[in-house]
Amino acid sequence: MEKIILQDKLVVFLILLVSFAAIFSSATFYALSPRASQPLMAMGIYSRTGLLGYTVPATNSSVTSGDRLNWTLSVTNDMGSAQFVMIIARMANSTFPSSNSSTPSTFPEIVAPERFVGDGETSNIGFNWALQSVTPQSGGRLLLNLDVEGKPVVITGDSFRWIFELWTYDLVCGCFHYGYGPQNGSTGVWLQVWFNPSG
Amino acid sequence: MNTEHASAGTDPITTARTDLVAAFQSIQTAQRQGASNTDLLPLIIQLNTALQYEENATALQQQDPTDPTATAYALQSINLSTNVSLQAQRLGDEAQSASLRRSVIAYGLALTAATVAALGVVGAPRLIRFIQKNRLRRARIVYGEDNPAR
């Protein structure tokens, strides 16, 4: 009789032990697991002089020849790991379409600064340029001579704007690709700043 | 698919570029192993310095392919990247063993708590009986006329 009671108690103990172990282990697993988060990268641009035209037409964004502009590009990384980024700056006119969320623009690449950005960090990259001369041409078009980070740039046309695209390094292909996230499903990040050149 | 491959230059500059990417990969691995952002931030700063050296080397080499300063910059970049790689690997290993230790302790505590809880439930009736018996044993026995209840 005593032996049967003891056996019953042992069975009850084992059942309880397994149940409690399952409950406490689940709680431990939850406590030790990293919190889920949405991977994200963002890019912004600002200037101390406040000369940034985000709208069309570029109101209050007249750049006179001889003007030197010091802008700052900021890249925020919330991807859960460090990122190797490149920002491609393109000079655009009205001839081609701008970038979009999946395709980069086809305008000529002027400069492409690279930077390592830690997780949860915001990195600032200087972007300095100057409008050296403006020459009117036929059909209302303009010929611009610019100095971008010490590099001479010549462009003709109208509706001038800067396009900035965020590219990230993919270790699988050993190359930069447009936007962030996996190469075959990346999210494009870009912005454009319009300006009105004048002589 | 929009991709852009890193440009290749002379040997030390190509090596500098390869080492930069290797160091970046080590940082990402360390992060996956559990190294904290605070620990990795100095390495990111060092890696950006190495990138700056590599860019200087590339710019100088494009102007004059025989310029020894370009090689000097490339070598500085290689040294810094290698150092970052080693530090990242060390941080990653430390983070991994710390994570393993934490898991063992946490699950060990969970199992101990489960055992204590199961023993508590099974042994509770016996414990209650023991406490009651003890209380009875300690209680004063009052006989006959002394009993105020009578």
Residue A37 φ then ψ, to 5°: -150, 155
Q: Is the Cβ pair A17, B115 closer than 8 Å?
A: yes
pLDDT number for residue A185:
85
The pLDDT tens digits for B39-76 are: 999 999 999 999 999 999 999 988 888 888 999 999 99
A96 touches chain B (CB under 8 A): no
Closest CA to A163 of A133, A134, A188: A188
- From first to last of its 199 residues, chain A has per-residue pLDDT tens of 667 777 888 888 899 999 999 999 999 999 988 888 889 999 999 887 666 665 555 566 788 888 888 899 999 999 999 999 999 999 988 776 677 777 888 888 999 999 999 999 999 999 999 999 999 988 888 999 999 998 899 998 888 889 999 999 999 999 999 999 988 888 999 998 888 888 7
Per-residue pLDDT, B150: 46
Reported confidence tier of residue B145, pLDDT bands at 50, 70, 90: low
Name the class of domain B11-100: mainly alpha
Q: How far apart are CA A81 and CA B59, in angstroms?
A: 29
Q: How far, in Å, CA of A182 to CA of B2, rounded?
A: 12
The residue of chain A nearest to residue B33, with distances taken between CA atoms, is A81
Residue B119 contacts A, CB cutoff 8 Å: yes
| pLDDT of res. B37 | 93
Choose the closest CB to B41 out of A16, A118, A178.
A118
ipTM score here? 0.82
The CA distances from residue B19 to A78, B26, B59, B128, in Å, are 25, 10, 18, 70
More confident call, A57 vs B17: B17
Q: Is the pLDDT of residue B7 over 50?
A: no
pLDDT per residue over B24-39, tens digit each?
999 999 999 999 999 9
pLDDT exceeds cutoff 70 at B1: no
Q: Per-residue pLDDT for B6 more than 60?
A: no
CB pair distance less than 8 Å for A177 and B3: yes
Measured distance CA(A119)–CA(A79) in Å, rounded: 6
Residues of B in contact with A175 (CB under 8 A): 3-6
Q: Which residues pair with A186 in a beta bridge?
A: none
Q: Are A116 and B3 within 8 A, CB to CB?
A: no
What Å distances lie between residue B35 and A8, A73, A122, B96, CA to CA?
A: 49, 28, 19, 8
CB contact under 8 Å between A24 and B111, yes or no, is yes
Exposure of A186 by Cβ count < 10 A (0-12 exposed, 13-18 middle, 19+ buried)?
buried
Q: Which CATH number fits domain A40-198: 3.40.1050.10, 3.40.50.170, 2.60.40.10, 2.40.50.1020?
A: 2.60.40.10
B109 chain-A contacts, CB cut-off 8 A: 28
| Chain center to CA of B59 | 38
Tell me A120's DSSP state.
T
Tens of pLDDT along B69-113?
999 999 999 999 999 999 999 999 999 999 999 999 999 999 999
Domain spans of chain B, in order of start: 11-100
More confident residue, A112 or B134: A112
Judged by CB atoms closer than 8 Å, whether chains meet at B110 and A82 is answered as no
pLDDT value of position B148? 54
0.90 cut: is pTM over it?
no
